[in-house]
Structure 1
Amino acid sequence: MSKRRIWRKTPKEHPAGAALPDTVAPSELMEDSLSPSIAENRDVLKAVFRDCSDVAFRDIKTQHVTGMVVFIDGIVKAENLRDGALLPLLENLQNGSAACTPDNLEDSVLTLPQLSAVNTYSDVIEALLKGNATLFLEGFREALILDVKGGTRRGVEEPATEASIRGPREGFIESLGVNLGLLRFKIKSQHLKTINYTIGKQTKTNVVLTYLDGVASPDVIAEAKRRIEKIEIDGVLESAYIEELIEDDPYSPFPQMQYSERPDTISAQLLEGKFAIFVDGTPFVLTGPTVFWQFFQASEDYYERYLISNMIRWLRMIFLFLALYLPGLYIAVTTFHQDMLPTNLLLSVATARESIPFPALVEALIMEISFEALREAGVRLPKTVGQAVSILGALVIGQATVQAGIVSAPMVIVVSLTGIASFTIPRFNAAISIRMLRFPLMFMAGAFGLFGLMIGTMWIVTHMCGLRSFGVPYLSGLAPSNLSELKDVLIRVPWWKMNTRPTSVSRENSRRMEPGMEPTPPDPERQEG
């Protein structure tokens, strides 16, 4: 037998039958060819997976053939391994219908949809960690990788975080293969490209970049590839890891990538020339480049009639400003600009605040922090009691604080309206940003009144004008202005008018619909004829 090196730190030759060390890290293995001896292959793999009780070694011994199947229990689908590999193999061995070689097994015996042959230990270890099984045959330096990925994962169901009145009810799950399949069901095109990456030295998480070739901008896709390939981290457990490592401005309070667990939402983003990033183990898929306006657009905006969608979209915009400015505006008016209020309203507010020992700013902070704490408690508690605790807590605490003279009744109304307004924002990460910015605006209003609110607004707008998402301006559509993109920013025009894609994201294949698609009633003369 030829002498081979098995690990880097001990460059001594390792003859067959010699004892291996207690453990061998996968990173220490050389790109060595497998041994034709099953016993030696077993020793190497057991050294690599020392103290791994879930790694199973199944021996196959017949009169003519000796083999071994290795897999990790819990991440393989046992039915596929049994029906697609073990049973056909044993039946072939009993009947002797084909020679038991890796090539013959791959071509005419095993019935699994995906098979591949490898000849190095590193390839075998990588395949095992990804949920595959490996078949070794005595006397051959090749092993067959059996695609039997599986394990226990939840089934496809309606997304919990993006409920929709009208639209598809299926959502992504934690299985990368299922998620890509759901996307393929939506976009049946050979131009849908999927580029696979393995990120995480310990987790070895599969990450897939998807885009529509000929629709997405080549420059944007090249930049996305560069940022993903640059990532060096020990583990990726959720798509948020990727998001924070590839966004343009990590110090901005505004999200620069959108995430969704709805296949129809991701498909719509891809059709606009954007890309999506799938991460194995999470149902939340990232999309980019992202502009500010899409955080206030829900999927049913495109499934309902455009007049209804426009009314609801404008309602969201109004409540966006209420969620951001209402507490600060109340503080500024009651502290510095009382003359702006009508006399009756001013007297009512003054009467309500007469016995309050705190200034308006402290009063607002008490209520806002209490409201945020109740909201967080309602999220963290079990569903059966979370909503009841949050609602009862708000009612009891609000009533008690008013009766105790700690806060005034108008402040309770303001904070309640602010909380309701923040719930109208469809995207959770955008709603959090608005909630965060509300506090510095409250301090600015408490210090400088309406002038402070103007300074805060100028800072926010200036920051957003300079913000980019993969090179695309964050306020595209309005700044810089683009008449074609205004069709789906503050309003949504009918589908037959949205015949072009947003050119700020990609100028490739910008036409998405032929002109003249406006529906018209039938011609009466034609009907009579």
Structure 2
Amino acid sequence: MYRKLLKKLNANKVRSKAEYKLEVSPVIDEMVTSVKNIVGESDDIVQRDFVIGKELKATLFYVDGLADENGIETKVIKPLLHFTEDAVARLKGDALLNHLTKEVTNFIEFSIETTYDDAILPLMSGETLLVIDGIPKFILLETRSFNQRAIEEPESEIVVRGPRDGFNEVLHTNVMLLRRRIRDPNLTVQFGQIGRRAKNDFALLYVKGIANMELVEEMRYRISCIDTDNIEGTGGLEQYVEDNVLSPFPQLIRTERPDKTTSHLFNGKVVIVLDGTPFALIAPLTFEEYFKSPEDNYDRWQISSLYRVLRYAGAFIAMFLPALYIAMVSYHQGMIPTTLALSIAGSREGVPFPAFVEALLMEFTIELLREAGVRLPRPVGQTIGIVGGLVIGDAAVRAGIVSPIMVIVVALTAIASFSLPAYNISITFRMLRFGVMIAAAVFGLFGIVISYILINIHLVGLRSFGSYYTSPYAPYYFANWLDLVIKAPVTVIKKRKAEPKTEDPNRQV
């Protein structure tokens, strides 16, 4: 499928470039007119006309707010105005161009372009476009300067012990954060653009000598097949490159933490950083990655192992606890200890709904409160989440709509879902929980077992860039179990993970 899409994309690119390509004229008025026709009637495109010497016309174009106007004034316009008439008359063509760029660009990076296609895109990115009469070329000056959010602690991945810096929305800042941690010259950074109209900048990163080049080529190939006007952040990019878009399980890791990204780079994975978003995408992904936290690398191995066991238990509770309650109360009362069964029966006395409807109402209410807490301003959202849960739960019990034990089950399920380090996998578990509840209401424990088997069948057949999603469980790699549910001391873990395949499998000698 990707091969066919790539052929179609290349054909479209050839046609569009042929239609868009214009012949560059040495006459400045024609060049200025062509640039103005391409950029349209945008009020933020600034045009400044001036004269070099006494007769040589020149024009600057830049985007207001993206370019450094003070730098343009002091480092570009003033040096050009100081040229004498004799120097301009003595030099012509490329000789004049070389002389001007050497004098002007002492403190500014520049590039020379010969087509409108190559000149307009940097202009719209914040560079300054300089055209000079008699020279059929474009001079692009690096004058980008715009405000950016400071490097702050990530809000979606909080750790107690670890670095406090996180990605922001500027691509080059995010790449710098990774470069600061990886000083190996084998760290390869390749820039590119996605989107026919938006032309979103992105960076592809991998460590040469560790990452499998087939994985790198596959990632490049899938990105090159994207043919759309605009990429809506890393969430949209993830859906374009993942293997199975219909699966509820994420197939790429997304993170705001540079330290976590660095760890994955040294495990042979490929990272995509997209301009305009503080999240990086990491491929491939295996299911067990969602139970690991960056904090595991900063605590002692005994503490990290305990936390991981709690996360696995929390995942099981988040998905199956309401369904188990429904199955036990509705079908398998004989499996409940007598004292507990009498307590449940007493608490459910007077409740007008069956266990399934009771659980469905409470789960739906919790999801509404959770969504409301996210959308509201932070101080108000936290208050709504806590107070709303207490008030509604207490009022529902007092009104006899739900039983007290149902409130305990739903509250424990909600807490367990928050124990998972990755927010997106907790959403998947919450979504699947409703399906397992329906199966438990229809078939009892048999429905829960069938649901569990179907989920595992789907996971075993799922792939992430050719890697098995359930590795190292299936296929079975015993060496990788040293860093799975139980985290062994770092001195014992000497091999990288079996998935993805790496060129250097040894982590340490």
For the criterion TM > 0.5, the same-fold answer is yes
Q: Secondary structure at the match of 1:495?
A: coil
Given candidates 363, 372, 377, the residue that maps to 2:372 is: 377
Residue 155 (str. 1) matches residue 145 (str. 2): no
1:95 Cα offset (Å): 11
**Letter of the aligned partner of 1:57 in structure 2?**
Q
Alpha-carbon displacement from aligned partner over 1:223-275 (angstroms, at most 9, x marks no partner): 11111111101101301111001101111111000101111111111100000
Q: For 1:423 and 1:407, how far apart are their aligned partners in 2? A: 23
Q: Is the 8 A contact 2:157 2:256 kept in 1?
A: yes
Question: How big is each residue's C-alpha offset from its partner over 1:62-85, in whole Å with a ceiling of 9 and x where there is no partner?
Answer: 433321110111222334434443
Q: Does 1:51 align with 2:46?
A: no
Q: Matches of 2:109 and 2:163 in 1, distance apart?
A: 31
Per-residue CA shift, 1:273-299, capped at 9, x if unaligned?
000011111011100000011111110
- Do structure 1's residue 60 and structure 2's residue 60 form an aligned pair? no
Q: 1:382 to 1:45 in 2, by over 3 A?
A: same
* Partners of 1:164 and 1:83 in 2: CA distance: 46
Q: Is the 8 A contact 2:332 2:444 kept in 1?
A: yes
Q: What is the 5 A alignment of 1:215-254?
A: 215-254=210-249
Structure 1 residues 87 and 506: CA distance shift in structure 2, 3 A: farther
Q: CA RMSD in A?
A: 1.9
In the alignment, residue 195 of structure 2 is paired with which amino acid?
G
Mapped partners of 1:425, 1:90: distance in 2: 62
Relative to structure 1, the CA distance from residue 48 to residue 270 in structure 2 (aligned partners, 3 Å threshold; closer, same or farther) is: same
Equivalent residues of 2:46, 2:62 under 8 A apart:
yes
Measured in 1, the distance between the counterparts of 2:501 and 2:97 equals 47
2 CA distance for matches of 1:379 and 1:184? 33
Q: Looking at both structures, which has the greater relative contact order when contacts are Cα pairs under 8 Å and sequence separation is at least 6?
A: 2
Q: Does 1:326 align with 2:316?
A: no
1: distance between equivalents of 2:74 and 2:504? 46
User: Letter of the aligned partner of 1:334 in structure 2?
Assistant: V
Q: Tell me the alpha carbon deviations over residues 420-479 of structure 1, each in whole angstroms, 9 at most, x when there is no partner.
A: 000000001111011011000000111111111000000011111111100100011111
Aligned: 1:89 with 2:46: no
Structure 1 unpaired stretches of 5+: 1-25, 515-529
Kindly provide the CA deviation profile for residues 320-345 of structure 1, in whole angstroms up to 9, marking residues without a partner as x: 11111100000000111111111111
Q: 1:499 aligns with which of 473, 489, 494?
A: 494
Number of the residue aligned with 2:193: 198
Residue pair 2:53, 2:83 contacting (<8 A) in 1 also: no
Deviations 1:343-393 (A, max 9, x none): 111111101111111110000000000000000000000112110011111
- Matched with 1:73 is 64
CA 1:368–1:256 in structure 2 vs 1: closer, same or farther (change >3 Å)? same
Q: Identify the residue that residue 120 of structure 2 maps to in structure 1.
A: 125
Moved more, 37-46 or 263-272: 37-46
Which amino acid in 2 is paired with 1:86? I
The equivalent position to 2:250 in structure 1, one of 244, 255, 259, is 255
Corresponding residue for residue 207 of structure 1: 202
Residue 201 of structure 1 aligns to a residue in which SS?
coil
Higher helix content, 1 or 2 = 2
Residue 497 of structure 1 aligns to a residue in which SS? coil
1:36 aligns with 2:26: yes
| Closer, same or farther: CA 506–77 of 1 in aligned 2, 3 Å | farther
Distance change >3 Å, CA 94–CA 366, structure 1 → 2: farther
Secondary structure in structure 1 of the residue aligned to 2:282: strand
Establish whether residue 472 from structure 1 lines up as the match of residue 467 from structure 2: yes
Of residues 116, 135, 138 in structure 2, which corresponds to 1:140? 135
**Contact kept? 1:239, 1:282, Cα under 8 Å:** yes
2:260 to 265, 287, 304: 265
Report how many residues are paired.
489
Asked if 2 retains the 8 angstrom alpha-carbon contact of 1:210 and 1:277, the reply is: yes
Q: How does 1:317-466 map to 2 (within 5 A)?
A: 317-466=312-461
On the 8 A contact 1:84/1:112 being kept in 2, the answer is yes
Give the partner amino acid of 1:382.
P
> Within 2, Cα distance between the matches of 1:462 and 1:108?
67
> Structure 2 vs 1, CA of residues 334 and 160 (structure 1 numbering), >3 Å: closer, same or farther?
same
Matched residues, percent identical? 39
Letter aligned with residue 509 of structure 1:
D
TM-score computed with the length of structure 2 as normaliser: 0.92
1:90 to 1:189, Cα distance in 2 relative to 1, 3 A: farther
**What is the rounded CA distance, in whole Å, between the counterparts of 1:511 and 1:231 in structure 2?**
35
Judge conservation of contact 2:52–2:80 (CA < 8 Å) in 1. no
User: What amino acid does structure 1 have at the position aligned with 2:66?
Assistant: I
- Tell me the equivalent position of 2:8: none
Match for residue 13 of structure 1?
Answer: none
CA 1:107–1:447: 2 relative to 1, 3 Å? same
Residue-by-residue CA offset, 1:477-512 (whole Å, 9 max, x unaligned): 111111221121112111111222112212311112
- Which residue does the alignment assign to 1:188? 183
Residues 172 and 87 of structure 1: is their aligned pair in 2 closer, same or farther, counting only changes over 3 Å? farther
Q: Tell me if the contact between 1:57 and 1:70 (Cα under 8 Å) persists in the aligned partners.
A: yes
Deviations 1:377-416 (A, max 9, x none): 0000011211001111101100111111111110000000
Contact 1:88–1:110 (8 Å) recurs in 2: no
Question: Aligned to 1:134, what secondary structure does the other structure show?
Answer: strand
Q: Would you say the 8 A contact 1:33–1:119 is kept in 2? A: no
> In structure 1, how many angstroms separate the alpha carbons of the residues matched to 2:369 and 2:357?
18
- Whether the 8 Å CA contact 2:75–2:104 is kept in 1: the answer is no
Q: TM-score, normalised by structure 1?
A: 0.89
Taking the aligned partners of 2:279 and 2:86, their CA distance within structure 1 comes to 49
Pair 134,29 (structure 1): closer, same or farther in 2 beyond 3 Å: farther
CA displacement at 1:197 relative to structure 2: 2.2
Quick one: structure 1 residues 92 and 421, their matched pair in 2 at CA, closer, same or farther if it must change by over 3 Å? farther
Q: What secondary structure is seen at the aligned counterpart in 1 of 2:131?
A: strand
Report the AA paired with residue 183 of structure 2. Answer: K
Task: Kindly indicate whether residue 159 of structure 2 is the aligned counterpart of residue 169 of structure 1.
Answer: no
| Alignment partner of 1:102 out of 92, 97, 100 | 97
1:284-317: CA deviation from partner (whole Å, max 9, x where unpaired): 1100000011111110110111111111111111
CA 106–188 in structure 1, closer or farther in 2 if over 3 Å, else same: farther
The whole-number CA distance in structure 1 between the counterparts of 2:69 and 2:84 is 21
